[in-house]
Amino acid sequence: MIALHLPALQVVLPLIAAPLCALFRRGLLAWAITLTASWLAFAAAIMLLLQVIDQGVVSYELGGWMAPIGIEYRVDLINAFVLLIISGVGAVIIPYAQKSIAARFGDAEQAWFYTMYLLALTGLLGVTITGDAFNIFVFLEISSLASYVMIAMGRDRRCLTAAYQYLIMGTVGATFIVIGIGLLWAMTGTLNLYDLAQRIPEIENTRPVLAALAFLTVGISLKLALFPLHLWLPNAYAYAPSVTSAFLSGTATKVAIYLFLRFFYTVFGGGAFFESTPLPEILLILSLVAMFAASTVAVFQSNVKRMLAYSSVAQIGFITLGISYATETGLTGAMTHMFNHAIMKAGLFLLIGGVLFRLGSVKIEDMAGIGRKMPITMAGFVVLGLSLMGTPGTVGFISKWYLGLAAVEQGQWWLVALIVIASLVTMIYIGRVVEVAYFREPTAKVAQLKEAPAALLVPAFVLVGAAIYFGLDTSLSVGLAQNAALLLLNAVY
Per-residue burial over 338-362, b if 16 or more Cβ lie within 10 Å, else e, is bbbbbbbbbbbbbbbbbbbbbbeeb
With CB under 8 A as the contact rule, the residue among 62, 108, 172, 211 that binds other proteins is: 172
Q: How far is the CA of 220 from the CAs of 140, 142, 277, in angstroms?
A: 11, 16, 17
Q: Does position 171 bind other proteins by CB under 8 A?
A: yes
406 forms part of the interface with other proteins (CB under 8 A): no
CA separation for the pair 188, 200 (Å, rounded): 7
Of positions 45, 167, 240, 489, contacts other proteins by CB under 8 A: 167
For other proteins, which is the closer residue by CB, 157 or 450? 157
Q: What single-letter DSSP state applies at residue 262?
A: I
Sites for other proteins among residues 182-221 (CB under 8 A):
182-183, 185-186
CB 382 within 8 A of CB 319: no
Q: Do 487 and 78 contact (CB within 8 A), yes or no?
A: yes
* Sites for other proteins among residues 427-466 (CB under 8 A): none
Query: Are the C-beta atoms of 42 and 36 separated by less than 8 Å?
Result: no
C-beta separation of 315 from 381 below 8 A? no
Among 105, 164, 438, 469, binds other proteins (CB under 8 A): 164
Rounded Cα–Cα distance for residues 220 and 140 (Å): 11
224-249 burial: b if 16+ Cβ within 10 Å, else e: bbbbebbebbbbbbbbbbbbbbbbbb
Can you tell me whether residue 115 is helix, strand or coil?
A: helix
Q: How far is the CB of 167 from other proteins (least distance, A)?
A: 5
User: Using CB under 8 A, which of the segments 137-145, 305-313, 365-373, 389-397 binds other proteins?
Assistant: 137-145
The C-alpha atoms of residue 292 and residue 85 are separated, in whole angstroms, by 26
Of residues 140-159, those binding other proteins (CB under 8 A): 141, 145, 148-149, 152, 157-158
Binders of other proteins among residues 60 to 89 (CB under 8 A) are none
Provide, rounded to whole angstroms, the least separation between the CB of residue 266 and other proteins: 22
Q: Please report how close the Cβ of residue 153 comes to other proteins at its closest, in angstroms.
A: 11
Query: Of the ranges 53-61, 171-179, 319-327, 340-348, which one interacts with other proteins (CB under 8 A)?
Result: 171-179
In terms of CB distance, is 183 or 256 closer to other proteins? Answer: 183
Nearer to other proteins, 153 or 422 (CB): 153
Residue 137 within binding range of other proteins, rule CB under 8 A: yes
Q: Which of 400, 397, 419, 402 has its CA nearest to residue 467?
A: 397
Residue in 59, 161, 412, 490 binding other proteins, rule: CB under 8 A: 161
Q: Residue 200 and residue 491: Cα distance in Å, rounded?
A: 12
Which residue's CB is nearer to other proteins, number 45 or number 184? 184
Q: If you ran DSSP here, which 8-state letter would residue 303 be given?
A: B
Q: Of the two residues 161 and 277, which places its CB atom closer to other proteins in the complex?
A: 161
Among 175, 361, 391, 443, which residue interacts with other proteins (rule: CB under 8 A)? 175
Task: Please list, residue by residue across 369-408, b when 16 or more beta carbons sit within 10 angstroms of its beta carbon and e when fewer do.
Answer: bbbebbebbbebbbbbbbbbbbbeebbbbbbbbbbbebbe
Taking Cα atoms as reference points, which of 112, 99, 90 lies closest to residue 39? Answer: 90
**Site membership for other proteins, residue 391 (CB under 8 A):** no
Q: Between residues 52 and 152, which has the closer beta carbon with respect to other proteins?
A: 152
Does position 179 interact with other proteins (CB under 8 A)? The reply is: yes
Q: Is 248 in the site for other proteins (CB under 8 A)?
A: no
Decide: is 138 part of the binding site for other proteins (CB under 8 A).
yes
Q: Using the rule CB under 8 A, give the single segment among 174-182, 310-318, 321-329, 458-466 that binds other proteins.
A: 174-182
Q: Binding segment for other proteins among 11-19, 31-39, 88-96, 162-170 (CB under 8 A)? A: 162-170
Give SS3 for 64: helix
168 binds other proteins (CB under 8 A): yes
Question: Closest separation between CB of residue 166 and other proteins, Å?
Answer: 10
State how far the Cα of 470 lies from the Cα of 487, in Å rounded to an integer. 23
Three-state SS for 103? Answer: coil
When asked if residue 310 is in the footprint of other proteins (CB under 8 A), the reply is no
Kindly tell me which of 156 and 275 has the beta carbon lying closer to other proteins.
Answer: 156
Tell me the window of 177-185, 293-301, 316-324, 355-363 that interacts with other proteins (CB under 8 A): 177-185
Q: How many residues lie near other proteins (CB under 8 A)?
A: 25
| Residue 476 binds other proteins, judged by CB under 8 A | no
Q: Which stretch binds other proteins (CB under 8 A): 169-177, 414-422, 430-438, 485-493?
A: 169-177
Query: What is the smallest separation between the CB atom of 286 and other proteins, expressed in angstroms?
Result: 21
| Max Cα-Cα span within the chain | 70
Q: What whole-number distance in Å separates Cα of residue 45 and Cα of residue 27? A: 27
Collapsing DSSP to helix, strand or coil, 132 comes out as strand
Spell out the residues 6+ positions from residue 20 whose beta carbon is closer than 8 angstroms to its own. 30, 33
Distance CA 403, CA 59 (A): 32
Q: Does 178 participate in binding other proteins (rule CB under 8 A)? A: yes
In this complex, which beta carbon is closest to other proteins, that of residue 72 or of residue 141?
A: 141
Angstrom CA distances, 88 to 46, 121, 242, stand at 9, 11, 17
**Nearer of residues 5 and 158 to other proteins, judged by Cβ:** 158
- In the complex, the residues that contact other proteins under the rule CB under 8 A are 134, 137-138, 141, 145, 148-149, 152, 157-158, 160-161, 163-164, 167-168, 171-172, 175, 178-179, 182-183, 185-186
